[in-house]
Amino acid sequence: MNSPLITITLNPAIDQTVCVQNFQPGAVNLALSSSSNAGGKGVNVASCLADWGLPVLATGLLGRNNSEAFEALFKDKGIADRFIRVAGDTRVNIKLSDLANASTTDINLPGLTVGEAQWERLLTLLAADINPGSQIVLAGSLPQGLEPERLPVLIGKLRQWGAHVLLDSSGPALASALAAPRASLPDCIKPNRHELEQWAGRPLPTLDDVLACARQLQQAGVAEVVVSLGEEGALFVLDSSPALLARLPVQNPLSTVGAGDALVAGLSAARHQRLAGEDRARLAVAFATAKLARIGPHLPARDQVEQLARQVEVQHLQ
């Protein structure tokens, strides 16, 4: 697997992270620091994969008016930039990170409006870049102008072209993708517990509930289901063998923003390296844990991530 990993971000964002101590709604809060990073789920995944030393191609739809931050990130990390430029501004997402309790409040602004011409151009570009065996991460929300039904159409084409598709989305987009015929289902999904509950239409308060829901998706045709559970770790249902619960407690995380994206990057890196089972779970959780200590879509040095992977606790479930 020497070809580049491909990330698709249809609705990228510039993430502005503001760190405060003891955030008080409705009051004046003094910011301790502020930083701005090119982001969006697929962009964050691409950035972490590049930090790990893997070849990455990033594509999707990007606002022409404020693309400089993305172009600088791609150039700095050696990420192949195959984004289609669209008229307008890429959205800004504001992240209020409370260092006192390690919580984050998100304020996501509206994104680009995309039309049929840009959609068709994207499909043409992807058809040229994807080969049988390509590894795709399709991550994030849909921009205005693209209805949720577009997602299973895109996944179906990617799979028809021979790609392996890992989907990380939520809400109506995820529901639409999971309602598709078996041939158009993603190979792998990575919801968090809340996103899985939204899809299931019911609470999933226990680990057994989450596992049963993941197995239900497997039976419907999604080969791999990975559910991030916050401080509880992550549930890995990778095949018909026993599921795995992997976790690594972290002291004083700097920001939870992008931890789920780092988990996706770790899954992709592990698959690229042909890791399986416990080894794949360990690396994915290590990516997410390493990211918690950093602002922006970045990983620490490779040896630090590898050290974390050796410390991950893995429990075999039913």
Contact 31, 20 (CB under 8 A): yes
Residue-range domains of the chain with CATH: 5-12+38-89+111-317 (3.40.1190.20)
Which residues lie closer than 8 Å to 141 by C-beta, 6 or more apart?
10, 11, 111, 169, 170, 171, 173
Tell me the C-alpha distance between 126 and 161, whole Å.
10
Neighbours of 42 (CB within 10 A): 27
Which DSSP letter does residue 205 get?
A: -
Tell me the C-alpha distance between 281 and 51, whole Å.
19
Residue 258's alpha-carbon distances to 48, 75, 290, 299, in angstroms, are 10, 21, 11, 11
Q: What's the pLDDT score for residue 296?
A: 72
Return averaged pLDDT per consecutive 10 residues of the chain, 318 residues in all: 86 92 93 91 96 97 95 97 95 90 86 92 95 96 94 97 97 96 97 96 96 96 96 90 89 72 97 94 96 83 95 92
> Would you please indicate which residues are annotated as catalytic (active-site) residues?
261
Q: What's the pLDDT score for residue 99?
A: 86
Instruction: Give the DSSP H/E element, type plus range, for residue 219.
Output: helix 207-220
Q: What's the pLDDT score for residue 101?
A: 85
Q: What's the pLDDT score for residue 237?
A: 96
Report field, pTM of the whole predicted structure over 0.95:
no
Q: Which phi and psi (to 5°) does residue 169 adopt?
A: -145, -175
Question: What are the contacts of 202-207 at 24+ separation with CB within 8 A?
Answer: 207/232, 207/235, 207/245, 207/317
